[in-house]
Chains A and B, each alone.
Chain A
């Protein structure tokens, strides 16, 4: 059974960089059949897609966050990571990592981590 686990600081100061890692277990991170993504959810609000990284190394980011976000993958460690720079209180959210599946019909996230709350505060 595939499992994803987010890890990283739960508290980040304004203007600093938020860094999270997602560790994949019970399956391969290197398969071309899948891609990997980050989604966040501010307290009491809805889901917001942050970005995704594909087997080819291609990345896609939410246009509203693109200038501050970097997603990368380390296949040797079976991990992928998220960095969000110049954070403000608006970046306070539960951050989820997820596996995506894609075919000619479309794409969706089939496995999600449990989520980790990141608070931006001095």
Chain B
């Protein structure tokens, strides 16, 4: 059971927009920055959003992040087949004194 809660899977058609939610508590998301990682099949994770809503250099601006209270979201617009991957949210947890990950969300582009 992960400390951060994500839906196991989401799916959407190409060129549409999808959002992936990440729910936590005051000891993690509520008090610390959220980061999002994309893991393509058979590959290492790659950060696509950091500090809640910042886009790393080289990552498509179709990706965006937001946070409100103890929940965060990753949005991907103009979906492409190359976006099919597992997505993980992560944050520092003050109570556990460590990094916690969400269980991951598998994105399928229909």
Contacts and interface: CB of A to CB of B under 8 A. Distances in A.
B100 interface: yes
Interface residues of B, number: 27
Interface stretch (B18-26, B29-37, B73-81): B29-37
Interface residues of A, number: 24
A121 interface: no
B92 A112 contact: no
B88 A46 contact: yes
A61 B101 contact: no
**Prevailing SS type, chain A contact patch:** strand
B51 A106 contact: yes
Contacts of B56: 110
A74 to B, nearest CB: 23
Interface of A: 37, 39, 46-49, 51-52, 60-63, 96, 103, 105-110, 112-115
Nearest to A62: B98
A16 B43 CA distance: 28
Contacts of B103: 46
Given A47-B88, A108-B51, A114 B44 contact: yes
A46 B51 contact: no
Nearest to A112: B44
Given A46-B104, A62-B98, A63-B98, A109 B47 contact: yes
Identify which of B2, B35, B39, B98 gathers the most chain A CB atoms within 10 Å of its CB. Answer: B98
